[in-house]
Structure 1
């Protein structure tokens, strides 16, 4: 480990043990450096690195604070990393494999917990997808919202943050472009319909099967595009998540 890495580990340990709980203010830089036996430069570099990771927040003129440490905040960087992997076909396949492992199980859990109000939101996003079937940007937006609504129903924020991170906006848009070009968008919309219908029954096994069918078909389509070299490139709409 470099000296900076060791300094980062020391501050992380203070947070892990509760010596610096979420929302707490760090001591001033000279005091922090002395407490940890570090030079001020090392303490400063460690704080900057932890701020980039969203573990610390530097408030100009006020000080440095431990963030809320909520999963959605800490996993933002994972989503950014996923966006950087879009040109790596092996990484794309790995991401889809992870999604196939997680999303069907999440959908099964959602089926046992989803409220009528949450189910209505899933339906609303499904209807919006159908209305936007010829508009990749809108399809992409409502597709992401559909899956977010499903996974949100689990009540597990960490699971939601993980799945949102590995299903980046750029990858979704590229897949939708490929589906539209291959006239396969209607089939994919039907797969979303099947997930919704399964959720209305509150049947975990049926919901898991519907989600597995959808994710597996999407994964196979991605693999085909990668083999053929036909996966659409990133377009102008895909400048953020």
Structure 2
């Protein structure tokens, strides 16, 4: 392990243990380096790395603070990495979605409230009236993100939002090239929503699995 990695691990441990909480200001550089047994140079490199990951916020002339550590902020780096992936890597994105989204849909069937169900019905209705494939895919992304939000786990919702946006181009291409893809997507969304609304956890999870698997199969064939 490099000295910088060691410094990162020590700062991370301070956060995980609660010694540093979200919003806290880090001790002066010299004091922190001495307390952790680090050189000031390795500490600076660790702070720089953690600031790039949105764990720390370096404020010029003020000090260094622990960020809010909220999931959307921490996952911005993941979104950036996903954006840099090549198109032929999108299959991996769908494979991860096939793991996460059925679980999220099952949780949504247990936790979705009336407001979430109403919003989901509006999204499905809008998808059915979409005049272009691009509009349909935008509704498709909103549907999956809202399902994940209804699951009640912000971290899971943020992960799914990042992955869902990354797969938008593949979904548009499918809508343009696969016969009945638009109608099938709307029908599958409706079935998933009905299961979530009815609180049918296993049915909702199964329908989501089939839904994602269908798109994954098409992507695999297209590549």
Q: Which of 89, 92, 100 is equivalent to 2:90? A: 92
Runs of at least 5 residues in structure 2 that lack an aligned partner in the other structure: none
Partner of 1:103: 101
CA distance in 1, matches of 2:127, 2:196: 18
Give the TM-score taking structure 2 as reference length. Answer: 0.91
Structure with more helix by fraction: 2
Alignment of 1:100-139 (within 5 A): 100-136=98-134, 138-139=135-136
Q: Which of 170, 179, 196 is equivalent to 1:199? A: 196
Partner of 1:210: 207
CA distance in 1, matches of 2:82, 2:172: 18
CA distance in 2, matches of 1:207, 1:133: 28
Give the TM-score taking structure 1 as reference length. Answer: 0.85
Superposed CA deviations along residues 104-132 of structure 1, whole A, max 9, x for unmatched, are: 12111111211111001111111222232
Task: Using the TM superposition, name which of 67-76 and 119-128 deviates more.
Answer: 67-76
Contact kept, 8 Å, 2:94 with 2:216, in 1: the verdict is: yes
Runs of at least 5 residues in structure 1 that lack an aligned partner in the other structure: 227-241
1:156 to partner: Cα distance: 0.9
Partner of 1:43: 43
CA distance in 2, matches of 1:103, 1:4: 36
Q: Which of 184, 196, 203 is equivalent to 1:187? A: 184
CA distance in 2, matches of 1:170, 1:188: 18
1:61 to partner: Cα distance: 2.6
CA distance in 2, matches of 1:115, 1:84: 36
Contact kept, 8 Å, 1:119 with 1:200, in 2: the verdict is: yes
CA distance in 2, matches of 1:218, 1:62: 49
Aligned length: 222
Q: CA RMSD in A?
A: 1.8
